[in-house]
Amino acid sequence: MPKSNWCIDLKPFDIVEFRGKNILLLCHENADLDAFCSAAILARFLKQKKIKSVLAVPSHINEQTLSFAISEKISFSVNPSLEGFDVICLFDFNDYEQLGKLRKEFTKKVKKNCVKVIAFDHHEIEKRSIDASKKFVNAGAFSTTEILFDLIGKKFDSKMSFYACLGMIEDTGRFLVGSKKFFESFSKCLSKSSANYTKVFELAKHKAPDGERIAFLKAANRSNIVKLKKAIVVTSTISFYHGAVSTKLLDFGADISLVCGTEKKGLTHLAARAETGFKENKNFNLMRHLFVPLQKAIGGDAGGHSGAAHWKGNVNEKKVLSEAIKILKARFD
Ligand SMILES: [Mn+2]
């Protein structure tokens, strides 16, 4: 079964909207390969049409993406002033939080109605999502670069094809998920790419830093198994790397992993992952069936996909985990 596609909103892509405008191509905070490559693809496409644009990240770019940007000589600005931009394109996110330091200025500009916001994204739209004036959004796509390929793939040169491959391989966890259409698109991009598969694969390899690997080991050591009739759930606690840890915990055999941790400011995070085969067989969507009811029960903010989601709020870890387990029990026990 394909990923849910209940918020497909692919309007026709029209270059006219970009002509004569000052354009900012903005990735999410802590930009990853998918966000950055998507922005780089659009920047190249606009350049082909002799339209200038500025590629930017709010304040951080992840290490892997930074080394990619350097090797490809793609310049970008960090924490740019939004002053003077008529069009802001957002890549790979729809959450105000992910604007980082730019959130305040962005919100102000949108309120004043002095900027056009265009979203390119494959995350499910929530009520609190940024409401872009134009959305190229498909929650059924596996990466934002795949959406760019669907929109302007015919115009892709070898570099753009290479960048698209990187986003696709990165966001599928190196092909843990996919669809016939997805692999066709990947294959087309790889054929046209300036790089071979080994290079694409190596670039998308995430080499975990020591801190992250220690977090994996600690979380594994602290994990609890909750065996329900129709699901094996694993829970654990760790202060950092909740998302990465919960992905890792699935490798040990859980159907669903829940990883909780508290930040300095007392804000509790919960990251969860659901194994792909499991969620499709059981018709289970982490957002809809766990995080939405969880948010209803204990408040806080939630966001994510059917197989990966995140919640945060001011509720203690024990309570968060017990509420989450209660919801899962009602469905799987
Ligand atoms: Mn993505």
What is the tens place of the pLDDT at every residue in 65-83?
999 999 999 999 999 999 9
268 found inside a domain: yes
171 CA to centre of ligand 1 in angstroms:
6
pLDDT band at 265 (very low <50, low <70, confident <90, very high): confident
Return the amino acid letter for 130. I
Rounded distance between C-alpha atoms, residue 169 and residue 309, angstroms: 19
319 CA to centre of ligand 1 in angstroms:
30
Same domain, 173 and 272: no
275 found inside a domain: yes
222 CA to centre of ligand 1 in angstroms:
30
56 CA to centre of ligand 1 in angstroms:
16
Contact 37, 167 (CB under 8 A): yes
Closest to 324 in 3D by CA, of 273, 258, 279, 263:
258
93 found inside a domain: yes
Same domain, 136 and 220: no
Mean pLDDT for 37-43 is 98
Which one has a higher pLDDT value, 127 or 137?
137
Whose tokens are 């931009």? That residue is 85
Same domain, 157 and 242: no
Same domain, 45 and 137: yes
Instruction: Check residue 76 and give its pLDDT.
Output: 98
3 found inside a domain: no
Mean pLDDT for 21-35 is 97
Range of the domain at 240: 210-332
- Average pLDDT value over all residues in the chain: 93
Rounded distance between C-alpha atoms, residue 170 and residue 161, angstroms: 14
Rounded distance between C-alpha atoms, residue 274 and residue 332, angstroms: 13
pLDDT for residue 3 is more than 70: no
CA angle 302, 298, 323 (to 5 degrees): 95
Same domain, 233 and 101: no
Same domain, 164 and 222: no
226 CA to centre of ligand 1 in angstroms:
30
217 CA to centre of ligand 1 in angstroms:
27
pLDDT for residue 6 is more than 70: no
38 CA to centre of ligand 1 in angstroms:
9
Same domain, 74 and 18: yes
1 found inside a domain: no
Same domain, 126 and 40: yes
pLDDT band at 10 (very low <50, low <70, confident <90, very high): low
- CATH number, domain at 281? 3.10.310.20
Helical H segments across the chain, by residue range = 33-48, 63-71, 103-111, 144-152, 158-171, 180-192, 197-203, 210-221, 242-251, 276-281, 292-298, 317-332
- From residue 229, alpha-carbon distances to 86, 272, 298 in Å are 55, 19, 25
Non-local CB neighbours of 36 within 8 Å, separated by 6+ positions: 27, 55, 57, 61, 65, 68, 69, 74, 76, 91
Number of domain units in the chain: 2
Q: What percentage of the chain carries pLDDT values higher than 90?
A: 84
111 found inside a domain: yes
2 found inside a domain: no
Same domain, 214 and 189: no
- From residue 208, alpha-carbon distances to 216, 248, 280, 308 in Å are 10, 11, 29, 19
139 CA to centre of ligand 1 in angstroms:
10
Chosen domain end from 174, 203, 232: 203
Same domain, 184 and 232: no
150 CA to centre of ligand 1 in angstroms:
15
pLDDT for residue 173 is more than 90: no
Read off the pTM: 0.71
Instruction: Check residue 113 and give its pLDDT.
Output: 87
Chosen domain end from 147, 179, 203: 203
16 found inside a domain: yes
Same domain, 52 and 68: yes
User: How many CA atoms does the CB half-sphere of 35 hold within 13 Å?
Assistant: 29
Rounded distance between C-alpha atoms, residue 53 and residue 142, angstroms: 26
Chosen domain end from 203, 228, 259: 203
Same domain, 139 and 155: yes
102 CA to centre of ligand 1 in angstroms:
20
Burial of 103 (0-12, 13-18, 19+ CB in 10 A): middle
Tell me the per-residue pLDDT of 108-136, one tens digit each, with 9 for 90 and over.
999 998 899 999 999 988 888 998 989 99
